[in-house]
Structure 1
Amino acid sequence: MKKFIVSIILIIAVLGFPVYQLTNASTTPFFHLVNGSEATETVSVVEESDTQTEQIDNKPALQLAIMSDTHIDTHDPVVNQKFVTALQDLKKVAPDYDAISINGDMTNFGLAEEYQLFKSILKENKNPSADEFMVIGNHEWMEKRIIPETSVSDEQLKGRFIEEMNVSGLYYDKWINGYHFITIAGEKSEATMVGMYGDSERDSAYVTEEQIKWLEKTLPINAVDHKPIFVFFHQPITNTVYGSEWGARLQDQRILAILKKYPQVILFSGHSHYPLDHPKSIYTDGITMVNTSSVAYTYTPESGENYTLSQGYVVNVYRDKVEFKAREFSTGSWIKTVTIPITNPTQ
């Protein structure tokens, strides 16, 4: 565990509209680019906690269990057990969480039997009353990688995700406890992406014009300045949060510009598997962006794959703040806590 450290909070003033203040785990301030220039920031000194005990506070209005990249594989019992362990750990530290989200790559190759195993593990180990919010990742499109001779189409893979996850589409929105949840989704398989763009874009997210227009229409629905909007996208926006060199690319800067019209957006991304102890795992540039790491294994370019670690979040939403509690499931310990105070301009 890290010891208590002095960190820097950022009070981001984007276009004169300071909706959120970020208390982040960093010994150096972040400097973000807004419209090509460095944003003006007010720097204060605060303390971040790596406490092993639960914070004593009023019951949150919303409590979320957020994970990513479980990579369920019928031939990999070790990785599958890590999903079981993570869910059981969550039941100990947050037994009454309101919703659980898996931010893509639930399966390793998007096979029907992998979905079935994923659903079985989830049903047996999650809070039974918790709502679910499932997001498609690039691995849900990878059947051809494991079965080169398959004739499965992109439409069939899309339909499989929709049916198995019991959702209305690849991209959809949902209201949970009065909070708006929105998912953005890549819409083409790995094989199709390679055929269209070459190998360099195999993991990128193809987002259609139809989806972008849908996002523009969906974001403002019942939007309130001081109330978070939770947005999920498996791949991060390139050159933002920690791990975003493995970004969605293609249309992602256009998507970011749309999201920035709503500073109350909190965007969760997975895909990179980068661990949660890095200060830039929670990053602010007009909106708040959160790296969700991975349950199956973590990764950094320096250390490679680490199959010991398994990480995710408990997110507590209060009237005046959003609290991100990063969790190491393998040891049942907290990595860090990051708090975003919510400023209500009507108060």
Structure 2
Amino acid sequence: MLKREKEETLPSGAGESGKPAKAEPAPQEAKPAAAEVNTEPLLSYIILSDLHVSIYDPNTIKHLKEALDDITHFESKVEAVIITGDITEYGIESDYKEFEKIIKGYKLPPVYVNMGNHDYYHVWIDKDGGFNKDTFPNGKTDAQSRDRFMKFFGLQKPFTDAKLGNYQFLMMSQETYSQEKPEVGEGAWYSDEQMNWLKTKIGENKDGKPVFVMIHQPLPPAGKDGGTHQLIRAKQFRETLKAHPNVFVFCGHRHQDFQNGVPHYEKETFHLFHNSSVGRVLNRQYENASKEKAQGLYVQVYQDKVTIRGREFPKKAWLKEADWTIPLTKV
């Protein structure tokens, strides 16, 4: 915003004595005012992960309802809900129907999703409805799980992008599981197509605005590719993000309690955040010891920063152990 300083008016004609009036100072050149920073959030959204919705575990249903009840009565704006994988426990039709039944009971903002490893678990379910490793893949295919996910959410591919406000969101999904590629285990395998898509989409962000990349499995240590329970093509993933400032990556999968002392934020060339879980919050021994907990993240984007806060949904309370403010790099 430009401001012009008040200009002095030069007198015309002579003074009362008949002598020319004394010249007034020349008008000063207008100068732009210092740029003002908008202190209001430009975008606010919730990230949920690892819902594990199943009719065989009523606690997962209870926790999702608690989260949605909190979100729909939130103290501040929620413009989108992002779910980063493991929406279902087994990826079976009854899981999706239960999820649909629950969310239809709430007036929600737009919901965006990606796939987790559990959304492929249909291959472990035998003809009697039991979890059966001995008869894997039980006449099922990974393609059926992908198709079920895409059909339910109206997607053409497991991965997708969205514009929320003026910000880019990239929802990455593992594209295969143990029936097609036994070597991936519980890891996230991304195809050449998806990796090229990531590079193209990231490259579209020329103005340095934050970009939000959603994955499910976490990254392995820097310099390595991942294995089971990790993002497999991690070196290429990191290299793709390297040249771009203000990239925020959010993952799930670990279920780690925000209050158990495990780090949930890592600074690389991008910002990596590990979410907790709605369905089952785990302690450091990966036990669901606090069955009453259901946690997630609330993200607010400002002109000069991004804030990320952990939420305990059943208590409708913020978690002081999960509270970050990340200044944005000026471009």
Under a length normalisation based on structure 1, what TM-score does the superposition of the two structures give? 0.75
Query: Unaligned stretches of 5+ in structure 1?
Result: 1-56
Residue 308 of structure 1 aligns with an amino acid whose one-letter code is: E
Instruction: Tell me how far 1:184 sits from its aligned partner.
Output: 1.7
Where does 1:299-310 land on structure 2 (aligned, <5 Å)? 299-302=282-285, 304-306=287-289, 307-310=291-294
In structure 2, relative to structure 1, the CA distance for the partners of 1:235 and 1:264 (3 Å cut) is same
- Residues 123 and 141 in structure 2, CA contact (< 8 A), matched pair in contact too: no
Which of 200, 213, 218 is 1:217 aligned to? 200
Larger of the two Rg values belongs to structure: 2
Where does 1:1-347 land on structure 2 (aligned, <5 Å)? 59-94=40-75, 96-127=77-108, 130-147=109-126, 148=132, 150-194=138-182, 197=183, 201-225=184-208, 227-239=209-221, 247-277=229-259, 278=261, 280-302=263-285, 304-306=287-289, 307-336=291-320, 337-345=323-331
Instruction: Tell me how far 1:253 sits from its aligned partner.
Output: 2.2
Partner Cα distance (1:282, 1:208) in 2: 27
Deviations 1:102-152 (A, max 9, x none): 10000001011211211221232252xx12210110001010212356423
- Residues 142 and 191 in structure 1, CA contact (< 8 A), matched pair in contact too: no
Residue 328 of structure 1 aligns with an amino acid whose one-letter code is: E
In structure 2, relative to structure 1, the CA distance for the partners of 1:100 and 1:253 (3 Å cut) is same
Instruction: Tell me how far 1:299 sits from its aligned partner.
Output: 1.8
Residue 270 of structure 1 aligns with an amino acid whose one-letter code is: G
Residue 276 of structure 2 aligns with an amino acid whose one-letter code is: S
More strand by share: 1
With CA pairs under 8 Å and 6+ residues apart, which has the higher RCO, 1 or 2? 1
Partner Cα distance (1:214, 1:325) in 2: 30
Deviations 1:14-34 (A, max 9, x none): xxxxxxxxxxxxxxxxxxxxx
- Residues 239 and 247 in structure 1, CA contact (< 8 A), matched pair in contact too: no
Instruction: Tell me how far 1:211 sits from its aligned partner.
Output: 1.4
Partner Cα distance (2:317, 2:171) in 1: 29
Deviations 1:286-324 (A, max 9, x none): 100011110011223436223222110111111111111
Q: Which has the larger displacement, 298-307 or 229-238?
A: 298-307
Partner Cα distance (1:275, 1:340) in 2: 21
3-state DSSP class of the match of 1:239? Answer: coil
Percent identity between the aligned chains?
27
Partner Cα distance (1:94, 1:182) in 2: 27
3-state DSSP class of the match of 1:114? Answer: helix
Q: Which has the larger displacement, 65-74 or 330-339?
A: 330-339
In structure 2, relative to structure 1, the CA distance for the partners of 1:325 and 1:106 (3 Å cut) is same
